[in-house]
Chain A
Amino acid sequence: MNDTAIEIGGLRKSYGNVEAVRGIDLTVRLGQVFALLGPNGAGKTTTVEILEGFRDRDAGEVSVLGFDPSKRDRVLRSRIGIVLQSTGIDPYLTVAETIELFRGYYPHPRSVDEIVEVVGLREKRDTRVLRLSGGQQRRLDVAIALAGDPDLLFLDEPTTGFDPAARRGAWQVVKNLEALGKTIFLTTHYMDEAQVLAREVAVIADGRIVAQGPPATLGGRDTAATRVTFRLADGGPPLPDALAARAEVSEGLVRLRTGDATRTLHELTGWALDRGVRLEGLDVTRPSLEDVYLDLTGGEAEAEADEPAPARPGRRRRR
């Protein structure tokens, strides 16, 4: 099995006439934090539930730690931890009792002390589940998934519905797990989450993988054109021809795309200083992961724009 944790080839799944997954190929290495990023309804949960053994596939090859998950092998289930999209925990047991209950299902469980430490629930050990906040319940979900000391963890939208502070807490938990050497397969519709947590990101839209790579280079982000925008006052001198040829102008706002930002800026600012032109609101923007994502997933990501999301690293203010 060398260093491959998950191998998917030509995976397909339909519900009635709806093709949820239309031929996916993916490889996840051991010890890697992998994010499957996509809008709602893109096929994320279907894919992850096939990997977890909850759904049967229609076609394709799937290997999880060397097992076919559709066989629901007990050995495989003892080596993976699953955090489903929605919590399902008996409300009347305490945190420690719940973890203890699940520990009993596994051949080599982790200690309760270690688990509450990793997920940050030490102070809540003896609190009943029904008295936990939403974020704490979600962390207990992760705690249960860790009970068997799994090699591979599935996290299906682990922070959906969280406030920003709770998300930061959850991210820290994932970082802790990465430090423990766990392989993590994460689905999310937040690009910042994928960017902060994952070493490798696959973008899924409409049941297909549309881009894959490390967050820094995803979708050709590292080589994509830089955008230079600024305003020109009416009646000023016109742009030099070399720049004007690449510029889009609307209502005084000029947009330039360039593959060589250093040279273009030099030409632009040199011209402006020579002619005494003020470049109002000069802004140089590299495409953020969000730009790439919106580009790749088309209009489908629009719905997400309404959801609260904390500051996005790497994203520049645009005018």
Chain B
Amino acid sequence: MSDLALGIRQVRYTNKAFWRNPASAFFTFAFPLMFLVIFTALFGNDTVGVFGERISTSTFYVAAIAAFSIITATYTNLAISVVFQRDAGILKRTRGTPLPGWAYLFGRIVHAILVAALLVVIVAAFGAAFYHARLPSRTLPAFLVTIAVGAASFSALGLALTGLIPNAEAAPAVVQAIILPLLFLSDIFIPIQDPNAWYVKLAKVFPVYHFSQAMKAAYFSPAGNGFRSGDLLVIGIWGVVGVLAAVRLFTWEPKR
């Protein structure tokens, strides 16, 4: 079997195991929708300025939660599940076989990205049905490229983070403590009111903010192709940093 075939086989087995845990699979998909419903219920009657137009906040949340879905499925879920697998000895066990290490990680990353893609489809369909969020058509290429760049970069960051997480018990806390503040500050959970506020300047350092802007552009950009190359560049740079950090920090064995 070629190495690529081995990698694709890993995706299949990862997927099979994923669906065998229905509670985990259900909440992976229910979680973002739950946030979408809650946020639109709380703030949906408002309007928000996007690219010079006022749109309903509930429509805004469709793009925001699509971005959130991708971050959750890649960064959050990947980091937590890989640390669990590491601490359970599954990574070490695999390391003792002829399977190349990258093929194992390829399986997990590609599976995470497939879940992210499915989540975006669900959120977009839900948004189109209930919150007047037109599906991107003119900006579809930008939409797909933004998702791909974001999913890849946040996967790399999630993988890099596993190297800093001491054990499985600490994984959810560490992962959420990093991402939750950024989700609040980065135009995802709450629309930014004052673009000049100090916290926006802070948020701009991190990829979450740029990802939310790129996703919104791909969704709502009134003219043009919806590409936000500056934002994509920042996300991509963070992705490269993630890959380099993962190479240095990632371990196949539990940390003691």
A78 part of interface (Cβ distance < 8 Å): yes
Whether the pair B98, A88 counts as a contact (CB closer than 8 A) is: no
Q: Which residue, B9, B85, B88, B93, has most C-beta atoms of chain A within 10 A?
A: B93
A105 part of interface (Cβ distance < 8 Å): yes
Whether the pair A88, B90 counts as a contact (CB closer than 8 A) is: yes
Chain A residues 66 to 113 lying within 8 A of chain B, measured CB to CB, are: 74, 77-78, 80, 82, 84, 86-90, 92-93, 97, 101-102, 104-107
Chain B residues 1 to 40 lying within 8 A of chain A, measured CB to CB, are: 1, 6, 9, 13, 16-18, 20-21
Q: Contacts A77-B97, A88-B93; is A104 near B253 (CB within 8 Å)?
A: no
Which residues of A lie under 8 Å from residue B230 when comparing CB positions?
A: none
Whether the pair A104, B6 counts as a contact (CB closer than 8 A) is: yes
Whether the pair B17, A144 counts as a contact (CB closer than 8 A) is: no
Whether the pair B92, A84 counts as a contact (CB closer than 8 A) is: yes
Partner of A74, one of B13, B89, B98, B253: B98
Q: Which residue, B9, B17, B20, B96, has most C-beta atoms of chain A within 10 A?
A: B96
Q: Contacts A87-B89, A92-B21; is A78 near B98 (CB within 8 Å)?
A: yes
- Closest Cβ of chain B to A229, distance in Å, is 47
B89: nearest chain-A partner, CB-CB: A88
A86: nearest chain-B partner, CB-CB: B89
Chain A residues 120 to 144 lying within 8 A of chain B, measured CB to CB, are: 128, 144
A141: nearest chain-B partner, CB-CB: B93
Q: Contacts A97-B16, A101-B13; is A90 near B90 (CB within 8 Å)?
A: yes
Q: How many Å lie between the Cα of A87 and that of B253 in the bound state?
A: 13
- Closest Cβ of chain B to A72, distance in Å, is 9
Q: How many Å lie between the Cα of A104 and that of B6 in the bound state?
A: 8
A87: nearest chain-B partner, CB-CB: B89
- Closest Cβ of chain A to B97, distance in Å, is 5
- Closest Cβ of chain B to A147, distance in Å, is 8
A38 part of interface (Cβ distance < 8 Å): no
B95 part of interface (Cβ distance < 8 Å): yes
A192 part of interface (Cβ distance < 8 Å): no
Whether the pair A77, B9 counts as a contact (CB closer than 8 A) is: no
Q: Count of chain A residues with Cβ under 8 Å from any Cβ of B?
A: 26
Q: How many Å lie between the Cα of A163 and that of B21 in the bound state?
A: 30
Whether the pair A144, B6 counts as a contact (CB closer than 8 A) is: no
- Closest Cβ of chain B to A62, distance in Å, is 16
A74: nearest chain-B partner, CB-CB: B98
Q: Contacts A92-B20, A93-B16, A93-B17; is A105 near B93 (CB within 8 Å)?
A: no
Q: How many Å lie between the Cα of A93 and that of B20 in the bound state?
A: 8
A88: nearest chain-B partner, CB-CB: B89
- Closest Cβ of chain B to A126, distance in Å, is 13
Q: Contacts A74-B98, A105-B99, A106-B98; is A144 near B93 (CB within 8 Å)?
A: yes
Q: How many Å lie between the Cα of A106 and that of B21 in the bound state?
A: 28
B91 part of interface (Cβ distance < 8 Å): yes
Whether the pair A53, B96 counts as a contact (CB closer than 8 A) is: yes
- Closest Cβ of chain B to A106, distance in Å, is 6
Whether the pair B90, A77 counts as a contact (CB closer than 8 A) is: no
Which residues of A lie under 8 Å from residue B100 when comparing CB positions?
A: 74
A193 part of interface (Cβ distance < 8 Å): no
A98: nearest chain-B partner, CB-CB: B13
Whether the pair B96, A52 counts as a contact (CB closer than 8 A) is: yes
Whether the pair B6, A105 counts as a contact (CB closer than 8 A) is: yes
Q: How many Å lie between the Cα of A54 and that of B254 in the bound state?
A: 12
A39 part of interface (Cβ distance < 8 Å): no
Q: Which residue, A53, A77, A82, A101, has most C-beta atoms of chain B within 10 A?
A: A101
Q: How many Å lie between the Cα of A53 and that of B21 in the bound state?
A: 33
A148 part of interface (Cβ distance < 8 Å): yes
Which residues of A lie under 8 Å from residue B6 when comparing CB positions?
A: 104-105
Whether the pair A104, B93 counts as a contact (CB closer than 8 A) is: no
A78: nearest chain-B partner, CB-CB: B98
Which residues of B lie under 8 Å from residue A93 when comparing CB positions?
A: 13, 16-17, 20
Which residues of A lie under 8 Å from residue B16 when comparing CB positions?
A: 92-93, 97
Q: Contacts A104-B1, A105-B6, A148-B97; is A88 near B20 (CB within 8 Å)?
A: no
Which residues of A lie under 8 Å from residue B96 when comparing CB positions?
A: 52-54, 77, 80, 82, 84
- Closest Cβ of chain B to A132, distance in Å, is 15
Provide the B159-172 mask, 1 if CB < 8 A to any CB of A, else 0. Answer: 00000000000000
Which residues of B lie under 8 Å from residue A102 when comparing CB positions?
A: 97
Q: List 6 A-B contacts (CB under 8 A).
A: A52-B96, A54-B96, A77-B96, A82-B93, A92-B20, A97-B13
Instruction: Identify the B interface with A (CB < 8 A).
Output: 1, 6, 9, 13, 16-18, 20-21, 85, 88-93, 95-100, 253
Instruction: Identify the A interface with B (CB < 8 A).
Output: 52-54, 74, 77-78, 80, 82, 84, 86-90, 92-93, 97, 101-102, 104-107, 128, 144, 148
Which 9 residue pairs are nearest across A and B when measured between Cβ atoms? A88-B89, A92-B20, A82-B96, A88-B93, A78-B98, A92-B17, A88-B90, A105-B99, A77-B98
